[in-house]
Amino acid sequence: AGSVSRGADGGLTVGGVSVRELKEQFGTPLFVMDEADFRARARAFKDSFDAAFADICGGVDVYYAGKSFLCTAVVKWVEEEGLRLDTASGGELAVAARAGIAGSRVALHGNNKSDAEINRALDMGLGRIVVDSLDELVRVGDLAQARGAQAKVMLRLTPGVHAHTHEFIATAHEDQKFGLSMAADTTAEAGISAAEEAVAAAAAHPGIELLGLHCHIGSQIFEPDGFALAAEKLLRFLAAMQEKYSITMPELDLGGGYGIAYTPVDTPRPAAEIATAMAAVVRSTCAELGIDAPRISIEPGRAIVGSTTFTLYEVGTLKTVRVDAPAAGSDAGNNVTYPRRYVSVDGGMSDNARPVLYDADYSAVLASRTSGAAPQLSRVVGKHCESGDIVVRDVYLPEDVAAGDLLAVPGTGAYCWALSSNYNYLARPGVVAVRDGSARLIVRGETEEDLLNRDMGA
Ligand code: LLP
């Protein structure tokens, strides 16, 4: 988070609030979000993309991807900083509605939207429904037509750009559940792609206003090349479709996926650098094709919220084991042993499933005090009944870390609370926003009563 420092007592202070006070007031585990940092990162995306694309399409619409972390307070901040909101389900739409954001500034995603979700989107007058399949296109069109309306639709395409964290490879076909394939289908009657079929169907459906095209190439991506390549592919397709079907598609959404640093080995690029690289390709491709540039939009989630938040845990049980490992450069059998200390905290995979799901790496610091003790190789683990319940695989923590100390695990703003569960009947933690020396609970933690609420009795 942006404003973390050490207070006079040696404990961490964030947004002017000490973690020891936070522990007193709200308990642990606790998600601690720096509101000013969130707002600054949201603004940085909006400002740098606006600047980079000003001469191309007058600016960029930034849709914050609510799936990364969503509650009504965050929707307010997003709105106040001039962003829009991207949702992925009826539940996320319900949060948007509760927050009171204008439907025209909200988008809906999903590869399997129910009729109820589509109707809710139409009721709310959503700015865009991102259609994922031919089947859904017809359902959306029919539902809108039945109420004498037109649904504003973007088509999600798979441009065949496989983006991994550090590299991307271009392939002809995307073998995945999302989106309409751009590869020509030789088995189809006309030999056209699913993407083209969808454009033709959308243009012809009276219940649909076709706004344009969308793609999302992946997540936690550092290099701008993949985004730029996808933009180029979509622009070429957009130009060809405009010509062939005599239509205009005024919008192009290039999705989210901008990476953040979880540990020092991660080297994400600043938003401005990515924006500039993407703008260069959009500018030159549109010029080459001789088309007016469509209005560009993006959908960052992680890169806005991820680094604004840390999880505060209390240390409980400690134990040290000796680990056997082959000595560096030696033959098998010539082993060395070294100590590894297990530091258990009062949460774990129920509040951060990412290490288990993606082998994600985090770091941890002693938050409640400073210590001059020697660093000791430690593994921070949760309290769940699984040996894979690891919070931080390897981290050096002071030798004198003891029960009752507080640990902070940074970078937990995105896809941690959002993916949290009640495994082992643990209550999901609350989220507190700190700002200018005060702390406000924006999502309360669950209570034991919440946990038992839905149990219908024996
Ligand atoms: N737009 C679409 C259509 C998406 O599917 C996603 C993420 C985003 C935007 C936002 O991507 P971001 O900027 O946050 O990378 N649970 C995984 C990440 C799943 C991402 C799903 N889609 C994780 O914890 O790493």
Give domain 4-34+307-452's CATH architecture: Beta Barrel (2.40)
- Name the 3-class secondary structure at 153: strand
Sheet with 12-14, side-by-side order of all strands: 4-6, 12-14, 17-18
Pocket of ligand 1 (CB under 6 A): 65, 67-68, 86, 109, 216, 219-220, 255-258, 299-303, 354, 358, 414-415
Distance of CA 124 from the midpoint of ligand 1 (Å): 24
Torsion of CA 171, 173, 179, 180, to 10 degrees: 130
Distance of CA 66 from the midpoint of ligand 1 (Å): 9
Residue nearest to atom 12 of ligand 1 (CA): 257
pLDDT of residue 2: 59
Q: What is the pTM of this model?
A: 0.96
Q: Structure tokens of 326?
A: 């082959």
Q: Structure tokens of 33?
A: 């979000």
Residue nearest to atom 21 of ligand 1 (CA): 219
The pLDDT of 325-336, averaged and rounded, is 73
User: Has 257 been labeled as part of a binding site?
Assistant: yes
Q: Structure tokens of 116?
A: 């109820």
Q: What is the pLDDT of residues 218-269, one digit of tens each?
A: 999 999 999 999 999 999 999 999 999 999 999 999 999 999 999 999 999 9
Q: How confident is the model at residue 372 (pLDDT cuts 50, 70, 90)?
A: very high
Mutate to test the pocket of ligand 1, among 302, 304, 417, 420 (most ligand atoms within 8 A of CB): 302
Q: What is the pLDDT of residues 263-311, one digit of tens each?
A: 999 999 999 999 999 999 999 999 999 999 999 999 999 999 999 999 9
The answer to whether residues 157 and 182 touch, using CB atoms and an 8 Å cutoff, is yes
pLDDT of residue 166: 43
> E strands of 54-113, at which residues?
60-65, 84-87, 106-108
CA distance 124 to 120: 6
- Name the 3-class secondary structure at 410: strand
The answer to whether residues 175 and 158 touch, using CB atoms and an 8 Å cutoff, is no
Q: What is the pLDDT of residues 393-433, one digit of tens each?
A: 999 999 999 999 999 999 999 999 999 999 999 999 999 99
CATH for 59-300 (3.40.50.300, 3.20.20.10, 3.90.1150.10, 3.40.50.12160): 3.20.20.10
Distance of CA 85 from the midpoint of ligand 1 (Å): 14
pLDDT of residue 272: 96
pLDDT above 90: residue 3: no
How many CB atoms neighbour CB 90 within 10 A? Answer: 17
Q: What is the DSSP letter of 396?
A: E
- Parse the chain into domains and list their residue ranges: 4-34+307-452, 59-300
pLDDT above 90: residue 83: yes
Containing H/E element for 204?
A: helix 194-204
